[in-house]
Structure 1
């Protein structure tokens, strides 16, 4: 009988809470900090010193230890390949931080995650990533660890306030956008599997929703892979341009964050875009995104219900309440748990001492995740399948989502 492995969500929660525990007990890793620079002599002086490489080594060992722990839960550990792959990813991420520290770019407030993504995309699409450098590309795991750590910096009062409003926005958006997406897919003559997966990905929460829907309807893995590629590729320009549109339009932070959280289809891209707009917008973006994630289990249950009863002759298993629990994103519980811990259970001195190091670790998890997103994204994938009709349906549905969610965000959060 094959060994049962732990779900990635739970692995992320375990690693994040071990991190929190270590920091609370005084182990606060000193991670690489590249000072703002504007001339070549300063670069030489900075990288000639031992300190920057010592800090990089600490970052590498911290992430490697986390990865080895994660892999031990799955029973698949290839230390040499993992070592080489992670070394490459850390190098690219450090290079991204170096670029982001250039004075002119720093003055524009551009975050390191953007350059992590761009470098990864350039390598993936111009050179390619050899198989030996792929084992440490664990995007979803890195994002989920970072999101649980983010909970330590979001007070529970904020969750109650913004989370309640976020659920209100999410219900309106998910129902309307899902129906519109399904209608567009039908107009473009896509089959039922594509319709269900694209509609869920656009309206609920991107990759996780597509995977949950594919599981609920026992969908074709090739179609699922294509929808995931669409989610990742379309999220990139949204992540890059929507923060600047929000700034140009002078949106309140709550509205801007709710707009980003309700439209961008990957949690990591939501975090990166929210980070560009500041802490307040990031808080609302994350909470609205989590509000949509919470609906995932319920959505998967109803999709399973519809699919099984509309295809009785195929003999699909009838869904149960267990379906909701199995599809529910467990890292959301980790985020809430971290917020509860730092809001109510820890003394103020411990909270003040731990928040800084945890924020620094969280930033690096996101930066590494975005390096990985770039490294695993191929722009050439988008128009290959079915003459680009799934891509066209996805883009049309997403355009509607952007406009409709902005209206709802103003109605719900405009007076927050």
Structure 2
């Protein structure tokens, strides 16, 4: 951004909070509830008659217009050229739409593979075979999309539900997050992995996967290539864990409660947690979901402490040494979207009637998923797959695998002690 125009803009963080709460406000006022398009299909006939019907295309267009409206607002506030942004968003939305259609297939849905996984894969495939123009890459607003999605994610984190149903899950999550984060960070430093990568990787493996990596990157102004690597590794590792951990739990003779706590505490994406829990049984699904939500609660708290630590210790971000820490500098560097996440969670947890929460939460979840889909498409388009596993990324890859193995072991022990 040009310094001369900075006074006419607001930060990306505050923009995400503003847009997130505008969307929440619209939903709560009942002035605008955006119907979700239909993406479910199992054969060619259903694909044509349901997904490609005129009525469904109308819903898809309305969804695009909704995203375009708030996207253009975000572009104007953050200083992105609006014309370039609109052209970029049109392609992003088209790719994300294709990802949602693929994820809507009955077989894919039975595996609980989320649309964002296909968004990332499609973006990566396009990036490997096409050179994108500079104006296009400059208009990509990956972090803005993610931060809006994270603010909306706060609407799904209901403290009362977690405290009522998952006190043990919250205890497990707290112990797991602290121990796994520290072990991963210690391992990264032992292998001389740089500080940015160590923080993002440790947060991803210990808290809640992709969302934690993104929130940490925002808190420390982390390198986007390193973030892309961590996101890719999280998604790659989650798939075999989703399939084989329920099989291993059955072989070990674990109860559904212990298995659910184990799955929810180790698998790093919500969709994969649901899939693996469903493979075991209803009680395992319930416990695994509560444990995963308990870890999500810790996301904002962790981002706050990471941001403060990063500033107080004078770490470098993208080669720029921060100033000596003061309260003003801490506030300037604090990721404001975390405040949006926490505020949304508190509002939906304590200020709204349960019937109101139930009425709008599903709508906001659909919008949140769409913003995340656009973000994952953007991450894919920004990333050369060949760059992910060059020499500089081999140690972080093995560090993640070892930390995840440690996570699996310690979470199993805690799950057995707390849920047996």
Shorter chain as denominator, the TM-score bin is 0.7 to 0.9
Q: Which structure 2 residues correspond to residues 11-410 of structure 1 after superposition, within 5 A?
A: 11-26=15-30, 27-39=32-44, 41-46=45-50, 49-74=53-78, 76-134=79-137, 137-158=140-161, 161=167, 162=169, 165-185=172-192, 195-204=194-203, 205-206=212-213, 208-209=215-216, 212=219, 224=223, 226-250=225-249, 252-261=259-268, 270-271=269-270, 273-274=272-273, 276-277=275-276, 280=286, 281=288, 284-285=291-292, 287-289=294-296, 291=298, 294-302=301-309, 317-322=323-328, 324-384=330-390, 388=391, 390-410=392-412
| Contact 1:297–1:324 (8 Å) recurs in 2 | no
**Does the C-alpha gap of structure 1 residues 360 and 206 become closer, same or farther in structure 2, counting only changes over 3 Å?**
closer
Long gaps (5+) in structure 2:
204-211, 250-257, 278-284, 316-320
| Contact 1:111–1:275 (8 Å) recurs in 2 | no
- What is the CA–CA distance in structure 2 between the aligned matches of 1:282 and 1:134, rounded to whole Å? 37
- What is the CA–CA distance in structure 1 between the aligned matches of 2:302 and 2:110, rounded to whole Å? 39
| Contact 1:82–1:136 (8 Å) recurs in 2 | yes
Deviation by residue 1:105-148 (Cα, 9 ceiling, x = unmatched): 33333332222222222111233434454455323322332233
- What is the CA–CA distance in structure 2 between the aligned matches of 1:154 and 1:210, rounded to whole Å? 21
TM-score between both structures, scaled by the size of structure 2 = 0.78
TM-score between both structures, scaled by the size of structure 1 = 0.79
- What is the CA–CA distance in structure 1 between the aligned matches of 2:369 and 2:267, rounded to whole Å? 19
Deviation by residue 1:181-204 (Cα, 9 ceiling, x = unmatched): 10112xxxxxxxx53223222223
Long gaps (5+) in structure 1:
186-193, 216-223, 262-269, 309-314
Deviation by residue 1:382-405 (Cα, 9 ceiling, x = unmatched): 355xxx1x3122122212210122
- What is the CA–CA distance in structure 2 between the aligned matches of 1:236 and 1:118, rounded to whole Å? 10
- What is the CA–CA distance in structure 1 between the aligned matches of 2:39 and 2:218, rounded to whole Å? 38
**Does the C-alpha gap of structure 1 residues 413 and 324 become closer, same or farther in structure 2, counting only changes over 3 Å?**
farther
What is the aligned partner in structure 2 of residue 219 from structure 1?
Answer: none
Deviation by residue 1:213-247 (Cα, 9 ceiling, x = unmatched): 578xxxxxxxx455334323323312433322333
**Does the C-alpha gap of structure 1 residues 131 and 276 become closer, same or farther in structure 2, counting only changes over 3 Å?**
farther
User: For the aligned residues, what is the CA RMSD?
Assistant: 3.2
After alignment, is 315-324 or 330-339 more displaced? 315-324
What is the aligned partner in structure 1 of residue 318 from structure 2?
Answer: none
**Does the C-alpha gap of structure 1 residues 128 and 198 become closer, same or farther in structure 2, counting only changes over 3 Å?**
same
